Chain A
Amino acid sequence: MAEENEKELVSMAKPSEGSGGKTGTWRIKRPEIDYDKCTKCDTCVMFCVENVIVKDSESKPVIDYDYCKGCGVCADVCPVKAIEMLNEAK
């Protein structure tokens, strides 16, 4: 949210990681990547609406569970069905 600044003509906000809290706690289902099936095609990276799937040094997709809300888009778009949605409830 914008903080009032006398000099600003338009509201501005400095986006920063986690300024809305760790939204991963909202999740009821978590995506798990099966790296044996994963072809590193990057489809999940492209489609992740929260931009929380990033590639590691070996180009493998890695999910940041602090901010993943568990929407399941990645599992749906994965062409080799390498992502499974698991219940968070124990």
Chain B
Amino acid sequence: MPGEEEKQMQNRRQIGAMVGNHAVAYAVKQAKPTVLSVYPITPQTTMLEKLADYVSTGELNARLIKVESEHSVLATIYGASLAGARVFTATASQGLLYMAEMVYWAGGARVPIVGAIATRAIGPPWSIWTDNQDIMAMRDTAWLQAMAENVQEAYDLTLLAFRISEDKRVLMPMMLGFDGFVLTHTMERLETLDDATVDAFLPKRDYALIDFEDPKGIGAVAGPKTYMDYKYKAKQAMDSAKLSIKEIMAEYNEIAGTNYNTTECYKCEDAEYLLVAMGAWSGDAKAAVDELRQQGKKAGLLKITVFRPFPNEDVLKQAKGKEVIVLDRAYSYGSSGVLALEVKSALYGTQTKVHSVIAGLGGRDVTPQQIEKLVEDCASGTLEDERWLL
């Protein structure tokens, strides 16, 4: 017999199935933003189409602004957010790059914005398929960044992103990455919260960042004597956001019955071989870990859910002293896998062996069997410092 508390939780959740784009759109509808600015790009277009449906039927009472480019998309909601609106947009790949100047402006100005990034490769060669090069290119913009493993996480993290971004201790825009097509267009089981529960978790935003009685120019020129002080404030805010994110996730877990944290440890405590990954293929890595465990090999996965601020402490705690294999869907040319760089940095001084594996660029398929082989090669000492899964 389920307990009273468990019954209450079951009542709050409705079970269905949605593709990732519609799951995010549904979460956005429940979050009740008042200004949306949109420009279509594959693979996020069907999400914005769904939001436009919600607005046209009156299910979502928001101003939907159609503009001529992604740069203008972010300029629009940047201003709306300063004025106190809850705002949302989505983009990917070339669109995110075209938005890049405003991405820095929004991060630097510390405005709450939620942006969903349907991660997609960058040309050339032209590609519409997934990898993480687009979202990783934005890692230094003072935006919070998270990556979803599945459709359920895309839904939950969207709701969390609004709450985290608008938290007055944080006040930073947040981008949520979820793999193009692999999640955006794949239908999965989805448990949604009822509207009343979302309303309680995410009350109406009740503050503006500008004083209408005393108008000012935002982002005014700052000379060498003052510029750096604003940047230091952003650094401090990003550092302290680590704790705020954990607290807000814990609160969400309480009401939604979920188990979110900045990282997820899957059979990793006693692992000898630790995979580190983020995004949709974390699920494939879990399947590989299960198979390896059946064969008696001590494999585990540390999934990075929140990439910015980077959870150094969690990585250090879980990966120290293990044979670490970092799976990267983005590459810093002339250097290393982007996630591998972060993991190596977190483990600096611990003598932990870190292998960087680059795979799945431009949507190239990666199977659990390929991931198993990486661990087997690591065990036999044949896995290189860096390997490209071609």
Contact = CB atoms under 8 A, between A and B. Distances in A.
Interface stretch (A2-10, A22-30, A39-47, A74-82): A2-10
Interface in B184-237: 209, 214, 216-223, 225-227, 229-230, 233-234, 237
Contact of A12 (B217, B223, B225, B233): B217
A62 to B, nearest CB: 25
Contacts of A3: 226
Query: Chain B interface secondary structure, helix, strand, loop or mixed?
Result: loop
B217 A14 contact: yes
A12 B220 contact: yes
B110 A13 contact: no
Which of the four size classes fits the interface of chain B? 20 to 34
Nearest to B227: A11
A13 B216 contact: yes
Contacts of B218: 10-12
A12 B220 CA distance: 5
A12 B230 contact: no
A10 B110 CA distance: 7
A4 B110 CA distance: 16
Given A2-B226, A4-B225, A11 B110 contact: no
A15 interface: yes
Contacts of B233: 9
A11 B226 contact: yes
A89 interface: no
A14 B217 CA distance: 6
A15 B110 CA distance: 21
Contacts of B216: 12-15
B319 interface: no
Interface string B8-27: 00000000000000000000
Interface of A: 1-4, 8-15
Given A1-B220, A9-B237, A14-B217, 8 more contacts: A2-B222, A9-B171, A9-B234, A10-B108, A10-B218, A11-B220, A12-B220, A15-B216
